[in-house]
Structures are given as C-alpha cells and as structure tokens.
Amino acid sequence: MQGHILLITILSIVLMSLTETKSLLTNRDGLEDSFKLLDNILEEMLIREAEREEREQLRRIMKRHNDWERLGPIWG
C-alpha cells in the first residue's frame, strides 16, 4: 500500500507539472481534466487495495475456522 501511495504521489507531481505547463500554454481546462483523471486513478487504486485487504482478512478468518474444525474431534 505504501509503495502504491508513493508511486501515485510521484506520478501526480509529474502529471501536475506537465499539465500546468501545458495549461499555461493552452487553457486551464486541461489541468482540471488531468486532476479529475488523477483523482479517478487514485480512487480506483484505493478501492483495489481495500478489496485486497478484505480478501486477505477473509482468508485468515477461513484458515482459523478450518484449524478449529480440525481440532473439533479432539475436544468433542
């Protein structure tokens, strides 16, 4: 997750620099569109990371459940 945030931060700085230069030469709408695109990319990455963490948590819960089921006959 931290690597993704660092990558997005670096990409956003580069994108902002490029779009700012282009916007100054053309118009400000390009900058706004770039920020919207960057925001959408960041949102998608955060959603994917949250989904990955949820799947990992579910795997841990299922593993724990399976471990307890195997111990069931010993205690039963």
> Looking at per-residue confidence, does 2 or 6 come out higher?
6
Closest alpha carbon to 8 in 44, 53, 50: 44
pLDDT in tens, 24-70: 556 666 667 777 888 888 888 888 989 999 999 999 988 888 877 77
Q: Is the pLDDT of residue 23 over 70?
A: no
Closest alpha carbon to 10 in 42, 55, 57: 42
Q: What is the pLDDT of residue 52?
A: 92
Averaged pLDDT for residues 5-32? 69
CA dist 31 → 12, 26, 52, 57 (Å) = 12, 10, 31, 39
Residue 44 CB burial class (10 angstroms; 0-12, 13-18, ≥19): exposed
Instruction: Sketch the domain layout of the chain as residue ranges.
Output: 2-75
